[in-house]
């Protein structure tokens, strides 16, 4: 099969499963209009995140990497009445666009956007005494080991950790010395596999995002 066929099948799933509504579509389009890279999660991945939140009954969700808020909307819709999402975004402009999208989606009251480097914001969350039921990591891959460590620190037994973009078109298998992202993801897997606090699975995917995938871990 070709990559265009992968994308076509993804689009079929999105159509017949009603995975993307006008609000999510507008969020995707706003990212494009603002000149952001097209790296938001697919409609199917957003729906999966929503289902994971609901299945785990997560009420407090942490997202590392907001972009235009596409996945944030899916998470916020799933936490239910009284649930909250804290999302960390490095770029002020991205946070502004995300804020507009969250308002349009009617979930802005459930979401706190914190702007700045995530590794600066995460200790602040610890100081605030925050604890999260689900953590979604979708930011700069070079810091994934640190992000997973923080997810454990800010989690509790039963916390679900989801890490996006784990295949890098297969480059993780044998990262080139100058491929910082693939090298960092491979290091993350080595860390997650060796850490007795985690029980982890990794899933390869093909679709609108090409050859990619995600990891799901449970804090023991």
Q: Tell me how far apart the 2 most distant CA atoms of the chain are, in Å.
A: 50
Answer whether residue 203 shows pLDDT above 90.
yes
Q: What does the mean pLDDT of the chain come to? A: 96
- Banded model confidence at residue 128, pLDDT cuts 50, 70, 90: very high
Are the C-beta atoms of residues 183 and 145 closer than 8 Å to each other? no
What span, in angstroms and rounded, lies between the C-alpha atoms of 78 and 189?
28
Are the C-beta atoms of residues 13 and 19 closer than 8 Å to each other? yes
- Banded model confidence at residue 95, pLDDT cuts 50, 70, 90: very high
Helix (H) or strand (E) holding 108: none
Neighbours of 96 (CB within 10 A): 15
CATH number of the domain to which 200 belongs? 3.40.50.150
Task: Summarize the confidence of residues 147-176 as an average pLDDT.
Answer: 96
Its pTM stands at 0.96
State which residues form the domain around 209: 3-219
What span, in angstroms and rounded, lies between the C-alpha atoms of 185 and 173?
10
What span, in angstroms and rounded, lies between the C-alpha atoms of 53 and 47?
10
Task: Summarize the confidence of residues 93-105 as an average pLDDT.
Answer: 97
Model pLDDT, residue 160? 98
Model pLDDT, residue 3? 87
What are the E-state strand segments in the chain?
60-64, 84-89, 111-115, 134-137, 160-164, 198-207, 210-219
Question: Comparing C-alpha atoms, which of 140, 150, 159, 167 is closest to residue 67?
Answer: 140
Q: What is the pLDDT of residues 185-198, one digit of tens each?
A: 999 999 999 999 99
Are the C-beta atoms of residues 155 and 199 closer than 8 Å to each other? no
Are the C-beta atoms of residues 88 and 121 closer than 8 Å to each other? yes
Model pLDDT, residue 1? 72
Question: Comparing C-alpha atoms, which of 205, 62, 191 is closest to residue 137?
Answer: 62
Answer whether residue 65 shows pLDDT above 90.
yes
**Parallel, antiparallel or unpaired: strands 134-137 and 111-115:** unpaired
CB neighbour burial string for 138-152, b if at least 16 within 10 angstroms, e if fewer: bbbbebbbbbbbbbb
- Banded model confidence at residue 81, pLDDT cuts 50, 70, 90: very high
What span, in angstroms and rounded, lies between the C-alpha atoms of 216 and 163?
7
What span, in angstroms and rounded, lies between the C-alpha atoms of 14 and 42?
9
Model pLDDT, residue 59? 98
Question: In total, how many domains does the chain have?
Answer: 1
């Amino acid at each position: 099969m070709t990559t265009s066929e992968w994308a076509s099948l993804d689009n079929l799933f999105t159509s017949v499963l009603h995975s993307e509504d006008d609000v999510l579509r507008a969020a995707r389009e706003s990212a494009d209009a603002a000149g952001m890279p097209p790296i938001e999660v697919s409609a199917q991945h957003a729906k999966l995140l929503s289902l994971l939140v609901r299945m785990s009954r997560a009420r407090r969700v942490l997202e590392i990497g907001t972009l235009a808020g596409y996945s944030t909307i899916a998470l916020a819709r799933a936490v239910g009445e009284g649930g909250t999402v804290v999302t960390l975004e490095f770029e002020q402009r991205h946070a502004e666009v995300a804020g507009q999208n969250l308002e349009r989606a009617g979930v802005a009251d459930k979401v706190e956007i914190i702007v700045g480097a995530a590794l600066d914001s995460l200790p602040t969350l610890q100081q605030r005494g925050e604890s999260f039921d689900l953590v979604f990591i979708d930011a700069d891959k070079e810091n994934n080991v640190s992000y997973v460590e923080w997810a454990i620190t800010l989690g509790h037994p039963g916390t679900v950790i989801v890490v996006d973009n784990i295949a890098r078109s297969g480059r993780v298998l044998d990262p080139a010395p100058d491929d910082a992202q693939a090298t960092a993801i491979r290091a993350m897997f080595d860390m997650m596999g060796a850490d007795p606090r985690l029980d982890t699975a990794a899933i390869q995917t093909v679709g609108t995002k090409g050859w990619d995938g995600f990891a799901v871990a449970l804090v023991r």
